[in-house]
Amino acid sequence: MGKKYYWLKLKEDFFRDKRIKKLRKIAGGDTYTIIYLKMQLLSLKDEGILYYEGVEDDFYEEIALEIDEDPENVKITIMFLIANGLLEEVEKDKYLLPETMKSIGSESSSAARVRKHREKAKALQCNTQVTDGNALVTNGNTEIETEKEIDIDIEKETDIDKEKNVGQSSGQSPVIDMNLLVIQDMFRKMIREPKPQDLSKMVEALEFYEPSLILEAIKEGSKKGKSFAYVLGILDTWRIEDKIRTYDEWMVKKGAKSQSSNNKQGIRENHAVNGSTIPNDIREKLRNFSSR
């Protein structure tokens, strides 16, 4: 099996983030920032998850051992990250770096070879076209074309932002907002009234997961969870450990088992929707939004 390469895509505004500014202003803050970056790199292969395996007495000591940093410095860093929403304990001995999850890049060794081959072929093609008389002109055109490509990408991103702003200013809620209302309603009924931090996590979840799958995770999280971060941890566990990324995959791997368990407990059929025990009014709202 070929190797797989991972990398951390550091955001352009990383050091302008108020939380990072606050971290760096602490005595020894630059060291803590490096520790945070090392923790992110450590979590890449597990998609932003860090596990406590019990090798050391505490989680921070085990991380310090892994990244070769002073345990006390790692302890302070972890305390800061948890207090500022940059590290979350989603389950016992399982920690999520939410910003890392959105900044992971990966590529197989075979894909890397193909990419390098294409780049080399493209470079050779450009060199073939260049002659002594027009070398300067060709190079100049190449630079102009590159600038055009960059401009096009920027314009596309700008247009997308404009469309979002137009939708908001005209009072037309995007689909994600409609789904967000349904998820809030479900969370409110099964766990508690959503707090601001819950809402931000819901928006984040909708970027990666189907609304129907999120509803199932809320139902599962209602047994123990007290925040949406716990629900997000369930979704991440399904994705990483059970390879469940869609509602259909959940139905195949989890839904059938859930339905069988419900039948044994004598739960009435009208409380289940396609193997799920999500309330009918919530499910109906989701169907209505999805059909628009």
Q: What angle do CA 47, 212, 176 make, to 5 degrees?
A: 80
Contact indicator for 64, 71 with CB cutoff of 8 Å: yes
Contact indicator for 256, 215 with CB cutoff of 8 Å: no
Query: What was the pLDDT predicted at 2?
Result: 58
Q: Quick one: how far is CA 225 from the chain centroid?
A: 20
Query: What was the pLDDT predicted at 278?
Result: 60
Angle between helices 228-241 and 211-221 (to 10 degrees): 110
Query: What was the pLDDT predicted at 279?
Result: 62
Query: How many angstroms separate the CA atoms of 173 and 46, rounded?
Result: 34
Query: How many angstroms separate the CA atoms of 236 and 245, rounded?
Result: 9
Contact indicator for 270, 264 with CB cutoff of 8 Å: no
- H or E element at residue 73: helix 71-83
Query: What was the pLDDT predicted at 100?
Result: 83
Contact indicator for 123, 139 with CB cutoff of 8 Å: no
Query: How many angstroms separate the CA atoms of 69 and 28, rounded?
Result: 13
CA distances from 238 to 79, 114, 235, 280 (A): 27, 32, 5, 24
Contact indicator for 51, 93 with CB cutoff of 8 Å: yes
Closest alpha carbon to 173 in 197, 124, 206? 206
Contact indicator for 104, 42 with CB cutoff of 8 Å: no
If you search the block for the tokens 């550091």, which residue do you land on?
10
Query: What was the pLDDT predicted at 103?
Result: 76
Query: What was the pLDDT predicted at 119?
Result: 65
Q: Is the pTM of this model over 0.85?
A: no
Q: Could you report how far apart the first and last alpha carbons of the chain are, in Å?
A: 44
Helices (H) and strands (E) in the chain, counts: 14, 5
Q: Can you give the pLDDT of all 292 residues of the chain as single tens digits?
A: 556 677 788 888 889 999 999 999 988 899 999 999 999 999 888 888 999 999 999 999 999 999 999 999 999 999 999 999 999 988 888 999 988 877 776 544 444 555 565 566 666 665 555 554 454 444 444 444 444 444 444 444 444 444 444 344 434 344 557 788 889 888 998 998 888 788 888 888 888 889 999 999 998 888 887 789 889 889 988 888 888 888 888 888 876 565 555 544 443 333 333 445 566 666 665 665 555 5
Structure tokens at 170: 């005209």
